[in-house]
Amino acid sequence: MSESDDEGVEKQFKIVLIGDTQSGKTSICQRYASNQFTKNYHPTTGVDFYLKRTTLPGSKNLVLKLWDLSGQVLTGRMLDKYVFGAHAIMLVYDVTNSQSFDNLQDWLEQTRKLLLQQEKPPSYALVANKIDLEHLRTIKSDRHHKFAQEHGLLTYAVSAKTGEGVSLCMQKIAADLLGIRLTKQEQEQHGAVMKAEIVKYSQDALPRNPQANANTSGVCSVM
């Protein structure tokens, strides 16, 4: 995997997702890597990897490797082996579950302690998940931002279910690691989630447009 292009060799970033079980870590990985949201809950066993190629200005050959750790690994004695070498840590919580937010203090302290020996400390991102459940939200954005400010964290709000913010969050984490800022256009490109169903018309329904193709049908998805 050492393909090179005009702008240099492949760069790979290790991004580890940390946080309470059920906060949506696996769903975020699946949404980002394959643009899917799997409803059935499969507790992750061990560690799952999700690789995604992406590009950023100056880095056309970028691979983000997401490490989705199971509850067993996260609470086990070997956690240091899994987080070691991380370029970024995503601290994920569920906006409808206060406990998952309160526990981030411990997750952050524990992870920082484990990575004290790492030459270059990772960047930390505070990720509020399940923002589609606004009506059930218990952690408001002021608490989110206060925590992020106190601990020097990047901040994001996403929904693995709708996809809102997920791709942009990953791009911004990668951009931060590369020390660049995304342009407004790049942000819009990764922020936009539009789905439009192309309606199937029968020939009879289109009497004034004889050129219309009667059987055209499909789904247009722009991410």
**Is the Cβ of residue 69 or residue 86 nearer to ligand G3D in the bound state?**
69
Nearer to ligand G3D (CB atom), residue 44 or residue 61: 44
What's the rounded Cα separation, in Å, for the pair 187 and 103? 30
CB of 160 to Mg ion, least distance (A): 11
Nearer to ligand G3D, 41 or 84 (CB): 41
**The pair of three-digit structure tokens given for residue 215, joined into one six-digit string:** 């059987």
Q: What does the binding site for ligand G3D look like in residue numbers (CB under 6 A)?
A: 21-27, 39-41, 44, 129-130, 132-133, 159-161
Q: How far apart are CA 80 and CA 73, in angstroms?
A: 10
Question: What is d(CA 120, CA 85) in angstroms, rounded to the nearest whole number?
Answer: 9
Rounded distance between C-alpha atoms, residue 57 and residue 183, angstroms? 9
187 binds, among ligand G3D, Mg ion, none (CB under 5 to 8 A by kind): none
Give the integer Cα–Cα distance in Å for 137 and 130: 9
CB of 15 to ligand G3D, least distance (A): 15
Q: Three-state SS for 63?
A: strand
Which residues form the interface with Mg ion (CB under 5 A)? 26, 44
CB of 189: closest distance to ligand G3D in angstroms?
A: 21
